[in-house]
Amino acid sequence: MTQKITPSMWFDHTAREAVDFYVRIFPDAEVTEIAHYPTEGLLDFQKELAGQELEIQFRLGNQEFSAINAGPEFSINPSISMMLHFDPSSDGHAKDHLDELWTGLGEGGTVLMELDEYDFSPHYGWLQDRYGMTWQLLLARPDSQPRPFVVPSLLFTSGSAKAQQAINLYTALFPDSGIGVVAPYPESSDFASGSLMYADFRLAGQWFIAMDGGGLHDFTFNEGVSLIASCADQEEIDRLWNVLSTVPSAEQCGWCKDEFGVSWQIVPANMAELMKRPHAFEKMLAMHKLVIADF
């Protein structure tokens, strides 16, 4: 993968099925790489997966993704969704294309916000697909700033103002970062002072969205959707780990949680090559932070 930060989805034995579904219904999509579980050296709960697909890397439009094929340990929830921008200024049939993808993603799914006109968009809807992943489909206004087709969106549901704090932390941590549109909630609202109704920002040249959801939701960040940070060397792994790993009990195989609960995978850029070395999977299972030299 060429992205610095890649969203990773956790599936309970259905990664291949889910990826095939996405590649079928998105107009510009492809599977880019597949890695398999080894046939030995697995933990007891992984042995049923021996030889099966472990990770499927795929692309939807401008965005690269990772799909992890595992067990029922984690479930995707709406705390991290994907915002899909349909821009009439560059696509004369943007609304029709939005409706088509809404229909496709909605097969067997659940509507979270009806497809309708809202103050922020003339045509918008939010749904959870049959595999649990959530998607926000938005028809851009003529005067809105251009954004990529797919943008990961983080919803902070602690009840306090966290989105701006997270944006400040992340943009200071990654190169080629900056803040775009920022829309706070009115002071007269029920949200905590400083809460953001919407904001977008860049990390390593990639766009992300952050919003405060108040205490209205019964979900928060978990490992169901994590963010893979691809690192050039051990120095970069150490630097990111020292900031982003704040929950020791969540540290395993390069996974960690930051102070906001967002789950990260801090991995070397040549991870695929490292995993081809003898007993690499067993060595990885013994690590918390990944140490390249230990492979």
Cα-based angle 10, 46, 253 (whole degrees, multiple of 5): 60
Q: What is the pLDDT of residue 214?
A: 77
pTM attached to this predicted model: 0.96
Q: What is the pLDDT of residue 18?
A: 98
Q: What is the dihedral of CA 232, 238, 243, 246, to 10 degrees?
A: 120
CATH class, range 76-146: alpha beta
CATH 3.30.720.100 fits 158-216, yes or no: yes
Tens digit of each residue's pLDDT (9 = 90 or more) over 49-66: 898 999 999 999 999 999
Let me know if the fold of 5-75+223-294 is the same as that of 158-216: no
Spatial contact of 202 and 208, defined as CB atoms under 8 Å apart = yes
Domain spans, the chain: 5-75+223-294, 76-146, 158-216
Tokens of 274: 């490292």
Residue 68: pLDDT band with limits 50, 70, 90 = very high
Q: What is the pLDDT of residue 87?
A: 97
Average pLDDT score over the chain: 95
216: pLDDT strictly greater than 80: no
Tens digit of each residue's pLDDT (9 = 90 or more) over 256-265: 999 999 999 9
| Cα 154 from Cα 166, distance rounded (Å) | 10
The answer to which of 15-19, 76-80, 151-155, 211-215 has the lowest mean pLDDT is 211-215
Tens digit of each residue's pLDDT (9 = 90 or more) over 94-125: 999 999 999 999 999 999 999 999 999 999 99
Answer CATH for 5-75+223-294 from 3.40.50.300, 3.60.21.10, 3.40.50.2300, 3.10.180.10: 3.10.180.10
| Cα 145 from Cα 206, distance rounded (Å) | 15
